[in-house]
Amino acid sequence: MTMLSPDISLPRGVSDFLPDAAAKIGFIEAKIRHVFELWGFRRIIPPKLEYEDVLTIGMGEELKGKTYRFDDRQTGRLLAFPPDITPQIARIVATRLSGWPLPHRISYSGRVLRQTESQTGRSRELFQSGVELIGLDSPEADAEMVTMAIEAMQQLGFDNFKIDLGQVEFCRGIMAASGLDGQPLRELQEAIARKDVSAVSKVLAASTVTEASRREIAALPRLFGGREVVAEAEKVVVNQRSRSALANLRQVLDILDIHGVSDHLTIDLGEIRGLGYHTGITFEGFVSGLGEPVCSGGRYDNLTARYGFAAPATGFTFNVLSLLQALERRPDVEASTTRDFLLFNSRDDRREVLEVARLLRSRGYTAARDIIRREYEDSLTYARRMNIRSMLIIGDEACGNDTYTAVRVRDGKRFKITREMLLNEDLVTFIEENQQAIEN
Amino acid sequence: MNDWITIAIPKGRILEESVELFGRIGIDCRELLSDSRKLIFENAEQRMRYMIVRATDVPTYVEYGSADLGIVGKDTLMEQGKDLYEPLDLKFGYCRMMVAEPVNLAKNDDPSGWSHIRIATKYPHVAETYFASKGIQVEIIKLYGSIELAPLVGLSERIVDLVSTGETLRQNGLVEVESIAEITTRLIVNRASLKTKYQRITEIIQGLERELQSA
């Protein structure tokens, strides 16, 4: 027999995050937020809905094309879900905070929506946790962003990761010096984004750029690697704009040396991805085994001016779902999905069990009551499914006054535990490691 | 395991040429040519891993980082448009992506006068982008093989396909009327791999580059 069920499916590209995944996301976000706080950043919460025309002031063409838009019945204006939080922060800084002293150290943690092509399996909902440092054009500000990203990655337990630094002005200087425009420029940019040396030579062969400019362009797809890349670039590049960009990159690298994070850095001067609003140092974070970056950011000195308040700025954001993918099997992340106690009462009187629960909670343990009346075995199964590590049975016949039975949920082993022992430091570990099981 | 390099390679001619080319820079993967049904091979001493996959799946494995490097035809890359690095033209597997039509049609046909045409192809994305850039409306019929058959039985007037010697076209009464792109085999690299393993990957790229230049 087939049952016709109503269509209760979800749109593609969004997910329900059930307790285990949600706990892991919360764990990751909390670690990141803690680093942000340690550096003195304060959180703001922008709205999930804005006027489309206001939002697009701060967005590049690519993001505009990925924005969800619809009518506002109240005003007839077009509304949009923000596809990126940075333009919102730029607006807030330019309006609500314009009278405040600089610099602003702002953090955010939220979700954005982006249109994606169908069938790519990509999520349309992104979890972003990021910061904006507004009002500073100093290389120290750029270095602060990179160092914070590295500290957060370390706090999350990554060891083999790289922060890849770029400087968009370097590439733009070379493009401008070439004098190319229109179709050849677009082809060249695409070839450089792919590091496709043969396509770069092809564009060059068909153009009339100067010898010096030709050398600069031909070098671009191979200017990636370690610190030596800066010196290599200095040898080839003659245009002033790119040379200033290199000098700026050197200053930032020197400060990053002081921060002691240089081991985690790579450099890619041919990287022209990123958002249209970037104007200087940019960076992306990569961990091995994951195809997409886990964080990205950079300098954007012209963005707040679009909202009427000129200020240099830099910032970056973590893609929390990418981090989840990279981290979800780690023990400490797994541990964030567990709970400490399930309390099972064998008596009719609930006074003692509620009192024990209160005691456990006051000592910082999570304690849930198994309110349903059922067999002990069924409760144990429930505890396993819910990732609860220990059970406490109150009123077991074998136990005297002020004595309970503790159960290690993993294997069902039971122990006698006195009320006094509940005051043990790290009670859950004590139960999990106890060897003295009692016979039933 | 972290500094291992995984390469995705399709079966067939690309595999033979790749094994030969890698051999020249001291990466020994002749095991791949054995008649085994294994899909994954490891060389622990050189910390290399090889995956045998379908040509059209190579970019996917590399994009998601299951493989660090991949070897694949430019035709597949053009069709899929994935976000990958494509640092090296390996020069082998040369052919052309072109538009062909029956000899009889070609006699009095003027490609500059096309306005609405029907195309059979394995490469719908390439065909659509190419004709769109010329302002020509096109109805695409996606086929998976024997594309040359389509005009002979009236499925479409023209085809977009790869041609190397032109023999198949000739035997089926077709002629090339427009060339879209020259195709060769490419080395592709996952973005994160290039950053996190850049020393080993740069070594491979530079080694291959030297071999290709001296060849």
What's the pLDDT tens digit per position in A53-62? 999 999 888 8
CA distance A284 to chain B (A): 10
Smallest Cβ–Cβ distance between A221 and the set B87, B190, B195 belongs to: B87
CB A197 to CB B87 under 8 A?
yes
What's the pLDDT tens digit per position in B142-175? 999 999 999 999 999 999 999 998 899 999 999 9
Residue B54 shares a structural domain with residue B80: yes
| Cα–Cα distance list, A278 to A191, A299, B84 (Å) | 20, 5, 21
Closest residue, chain B, to A196 (C-alpha): B87
Nearest partner of A283 among A145, A432, A160, judged by Cα: A145
Chain A from 186 to 215: CB within 8 A of any B CB: 194-199
| Cα–Cα distance list, B126 to A62, B79, B157, B178 (Å) | 21, 5, 17, 14
In the block, residue with structure tokens 């593609």: A12
Residue B117 shares a structural domain with residue B179: yes
CA distance B170 to chain A (A): 30
How many angstroms separate the CA atoms of A86 and A316, rounded? 9
More confident residue, A299 or B106: A299
Residue A253 shares a structural domain with residue A164: yes
Chain A from 268 to 287: CB within 8 A of any B CB: 268, 284, 286-287
Q: What is the mean pLDDT of residues A405-427?
A: 89
Number of Cβ within a 10 Å radius of residue A47: 10
Residue A124 shares a structural domain with residue A191: yes
Smallest Cβ–Cβ distance between B195 and the set A195, A266, A289 belongs to: A266
Smallest Cβ–Cβ distance between A288 and the set B64, B189, B196 belongs to: B196
Q: Decide if pLDDT at A270 tops 90.
A: yes
**pLDDT value at position A300?**
94
What's the pLDDT tens digit per position in A358-371? 999 999 999 999 89
How many angstroms separate the CA atoms of A108 and A128, rounded? 8
Closest residue, chain B, to A194 (C-alpha): B85
Of the pLDDT bands very low, low, confident and very high (cuts 50, 70, 90), residue A291 is confident
Nearest partner of A368 among A271, A360, A56, A403, judged by Cα: A360
Position A259, amino acid? H
What's the pLDDT tens digit per position in A30-52? 999 999 999 999 999 999 999 99
Which of A301-310, A384-393, A418-427 bottoms out in mean pLDDT, i.e. has the lowest?
A418-427
Prediction ipTM score:
0.88
Which of A201-215, A273-287, B77-91, B112-126 bottoms out in mean pLDDT, i.e. has the lowest?
A273-287
Please indicate if the annotation marks A7 as binding a ligand: no
The residue from A272, A294, A329 where one domain ends is: A329
Give exposure, A131-170, as e/b (b: 16+ Cβ within 10 Å): bbbbbbeebebbbbbbbbbbbbbeebebeebbbbbbbbbb
- Residue A370 makes CB contacts below 8 A (sequence gap 6+) with A342, A343, A344, A345, A379, A382
DSSP A13-53: T-----HHHHHHHHHHHHHHHHHHHHTT-EE----S-EEHH
* φ, ψ at A164 (rounded to 5°): -100, 115
Q: What is the mean pLDDT of residues A219-233?
A: 94
Q: Is residue A254 part of a domain?
A: yes
H or E element that contains A109: strand A104-113
Q: Is residue A4 part of a domain?
A: no
H or E element that contains A110: strand A104-113
**pLDDT value at position B1?**
45
| Cα–Cα distance list, A427 to A152, A412, A433, B151 (Å) | 30, 17, 10, 78
Q: How many domains is chain B partitioned into structurally?
A: 2
Q: Are A177 and A241 in contact (CB under 8 A)?
A: yes
Residue B112 shares a structural domain with residue B146: yes
Residue B83 shares a structural domain with residue B122: no
DSSP B56-92: GGHHHHHHTTSSSEEEEEHHHHHHH--S-EEEEE---
Q: Is residue A206 part of a domain?
A: yes
Closest residue, chain B, to A161 (C-alpha): B196
Q: Which domain holds residue B141?
A: 95-183
How many angstroms separate the CA atoms of B31 and B42, rounded? 9
Q: How many domains is chain A partitioned into structurally?
A: 2
Q: Are B49 and B40 in contact (CB under 8 A)?
A: yes
Residue A232 shares a structural domain with residue A348: no
All residues of chain B having their beta carbon less than 8 Å from the beta carbon of residue A222 are 87
Encoded tokens for A371: 């309110």
CB A161 to CB B196 under 8 A?
yes
| Cα–Cα distance list, A254 to A53, A153, A172 (Å) | 41, 21, 23
Q: Decide if pLDDT at B47 tops 70.
A: yes
Q: What is the mean pLDDT of residues B13-29?
A: 90
H or E element that contains B208: helix B198-214
Classify residue B65 as left (phi > 0), alpha (psi -120 to 50) or beta: left
Smallest Cβ–Cβ distance between A291 and the set B64, B88, B199 belongs to: B64
All residues of chain B having their beta carbon less than 8 Å from the beta carbon of residue A164 are 195
Q: Are A70 and A44 in contact (CB under 8 A)?
A: no
CATH at B56: 3.40.190.10
Encoded tokens for A22: 């949600």
Position A195, amino acid? K
Q: Which domain holds residue A345?
A: 339-433
The residue from A303, A329, A355 where one domain ends is: A329
All residues of chain B having their beta carbon less than 8 Å from the beta carbon of residue A290 are 65, 192
Task: Give the E-state strand segments of chain B in sequence order.
Answer: 5-10, 40-43, 48-53, 69-73, 85-89, 95-102, 116-121, 137-142, 158-163, 174-183, 185-189
How many angstroms separate the CA atoms of B84 and A127, rounded? 24
How many angstroms separate the CA atoms of A175 and B177, rounded? 35
Q: Decide if pLDDT at A163 tops 60.
A: yes
Q: Decide if pLDDT at A1 tops 70.
A: no
Of the pLDDT bands very low, low, confident and very high (cuts 50, 70, 90), residue A133 is very high
Encoded tokens for B21: 């080319």
Please indicate if the annotation marks A86 as binding a ligand: yes
Interface of B with A (CB under 8 A): 2, 62-65, 84-89, 189-199, 202
Residue A82 shares a structural domain with residue A199: yes
CATH at A368: 3.40.50.800
Residue B32 shares a structural domain with residue B80: yes
Please indicate if the annotation marks A128 as binding a ligand: yes
pTM of the model: 0.89
CB B84 to CB A194 under 8 A?
yes
Q: Decide if pLDDT at A277 tops 90.
A: no
Q: Decide if pLDDT at A419 tops 80.
A: yes
The residue from A329, A356, A385 where one domain ends is: A329
* φ, ψ at B118 (rounded to 5°): -115, 130
- Residue A166 makes CB contacts below 8 A (sequence gap 6+) with A267, A268, A269, A271, A272, A274, A281, A282, A283, A298
CB B198 to CB A292 under 8 A?
no
Number of Cβ within a 10 Å radius of residue A439: 5
CATH at A56: 3.30.930.10
Q: Is residue A6 part of a domain?
A: no
More confident residue, B187 or A373: B187
Encoded tokens for A277: 């609003």
| Cα–Cα distance list, A61 to A66, A94, A122, B96, B187 (Å) | 9, 22, 20, 34, 31
How many angstroms separate the CA atoms of B79 and B144, rounded? 13
Q: What is the mean pLDDT of residues A337-341?
A: 94
Residue A262 shares a structural domain with residue A381: no
Instruction: Supply the mean pLDDT for chain A.
Output: 92
Residue A287 shares a structural domain with residue A392: no
Q: Decide if pLDDT at A440 tops 70.
A: no
Q: Decide if pLDDT at A285 tops 60.
A: yes
Q: Decide if pLDDT at A439 tops 90.
A: no
Q: Is residue A10 part of a domain?
A: no
Which of A294-303, A431-440, B34-43, B93-102 bottoms out in mean pLDDT, i.e. has the lowest?
A431-440
Encoded tokens for A293: 């970056």
All residues of chain B having their beta carbon less than 8 Å from the beta carbon of residue A221 are 87
